[in-house]
């Protein structure tokens, strides 16, 4: 009799396992399982110029497996790189239409042995890590490139900029630029912008703003051949492989959105926008911020989700999840020396990189040693 009962229990357990959803959402409450993990920073070096130019508008900070840090300076339209000790390696970029010349540098990516520069007009220029021109590929996509998962494959989603009509869900895709083929990995609501107009007739000008901290955006993080993504008006993040197979889905339950002050919204607009236009845009921007602005996955699989910091200028807060999507820590990075970040911090191994402005107004790229989660 006892054997029969045990057999029936085994059948029930097997049946429960087979019928349970394989990709059930890992639901996390607002309290981290292991409390806080405050990331301490120890400065290793800083640089405030590249070539003969001061660093002014650094973007796209990326680090390769040798610890060399690459970035783009939008003001001077150059790509620069420094080695792990802060020694300048390359500083290049030439405007033009010829081989290896760029019309307008949009962004760049480190992928394998290449620096891939995205240019206006659907051009992708491949350079070696020494800045030597390799080849150029053309595509006719209107999509926004989110990142590469191979030398010739990248993740895209159709950009909503410049589109006035409401749109249906857009596909998050992986595009092979050699094969000219796409693989759909998810269907998501498009990124949102806030728009206003000035003037009329031929003199009418349209203005639009996209602020990931305020306007709902599709946030994408790439780790090897895995893609992490989510629309940040909800705290739900998914992980798929390169074929679109869902591997993980986790959420944060019950966390309220932060309220955004009018002063914060007004501070988003500089002198380049007419005051009456800025006033209209401020009215249209949401009064609450989104839930996350960046997804980073480290070499051990821990998932760092950057949250908007709308009240404090010298910190970055983030939630840290296990590789299985469990909420482990809430972390705060406090930048020393009165630094105000001009970019989000970038993790690479045991180090963190930041482009920031000091109290005297000088901008610099800083490399820190940090205490990573073991």
Q: Can you tell me the distance from the alpha carbon of 238 to that of 296, in angstroms, rounded to the nearest whole number?
A: 13
Question: Which strands make up the sheet holding 114-119, listed edge to edge?
Answer: 105-111, 114-119, 123-128, 133-138
For the stretch 18-65, pLDDT in tens is 333 456 899 999 999 999 998 999 999 999 999 999 999 999 999 999
Under DSSP, the state recorded for 165 is S
* 128: β partners: 114
CA–CA–CA angle 304, 305, 306 (5° rounding): 115
Tell me what the mean pLDDT of segment 263-291 comes to: 88
What CATH number labels 23-370? 2.120.10.30
**Predicted structure pTM score:** 0.89
Of 4 and 46, more confident: 46
Predicted confidence at residue 143, as pLDDT, reads 77
Question: What percent of the chain has pLDDT above 70?
Answer: 91
Q: Can you tell me the distance from the alpha carbon of 222 to that of 94, in angstroms, rounded to the nearest whole number?
A: 29
**Torsion sign, CA atoms 265, 266, 271, 272:** positive
Contact 79, 55 (CB under 8 A): no
């Amino acid at each position: 009799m006892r054997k029969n009962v045990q057999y029936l229990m085994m059948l029930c357990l097997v049946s429960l396992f087979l019928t349970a959803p394989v990709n059930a959402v890992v639901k996390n409450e607002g309290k981290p399982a292991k409390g806080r993990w405050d990331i301490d920073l120890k400065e290793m070096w800083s640089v405030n110029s590249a070539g003969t130019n001061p660093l002014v508008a650094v973007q796209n900070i990326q680090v390769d497996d040798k610890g060399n840090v690459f970035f783009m300076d939008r003001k001077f339209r150059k790509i620069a790189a420094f080695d792990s000790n802060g020694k300048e390696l390359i500083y290049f970029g030439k405007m033009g239409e010829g081989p290896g010349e760029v019309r307008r540098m949009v962004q760049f990516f480190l992928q394998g042995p290449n620096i891939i520069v995205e240019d206006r007009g659907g051009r992708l220029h491949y350079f070696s890590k020494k800045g030597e021109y390799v080849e150029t590929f053309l595509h006719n996509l209107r999509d926004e490139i989110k990142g590469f998962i191979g030398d010739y494959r990248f993740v895209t989603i159709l950009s909503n900029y410049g589109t006035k009509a409401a749109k249906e869900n857009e596909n998050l895709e992986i595009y092979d630029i050699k094969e000219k083929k796409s693989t759909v990995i998810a269907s998501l609501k498009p990124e949102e912008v806030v728009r206003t107009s000035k003037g009329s007739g031929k003199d009418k000008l349209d203005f639009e703003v996209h602020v990931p901290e305020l306007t709902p955006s599709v946030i994408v993080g790439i780790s090897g051949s895995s893609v992490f993504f989510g629309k940040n008006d909800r705290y739900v993040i998914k992980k798929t492989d390169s074929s679109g197979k869902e591997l993980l889905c986790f959420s944060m339950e019950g966390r309220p959105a932060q309220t955004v002050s009018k002063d914060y919204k007004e501070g988003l607009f500089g002198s380049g926008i007419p005051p009456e236009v800025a006033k209209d845009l401020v009215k249209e921007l949401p009064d609450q911020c989104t839930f996350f602005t960046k997804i980073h996955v480290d070499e051990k699989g821990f998932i760092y989700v950057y949250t908007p910091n709308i009240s404090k200028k010298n910190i970055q807060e983030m939630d840290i999840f296990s590789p299985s999507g469990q909420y482990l820590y809430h972390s705060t990075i406090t930048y020393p020396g009165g630094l105000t970040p001009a970019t989000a911090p970038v993790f690479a191994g045991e180090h963190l990189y930041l482009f920031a402005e000091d109290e005297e107004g000088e901008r610099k790229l800083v490399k820190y040693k940090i205490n990573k989660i073991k």
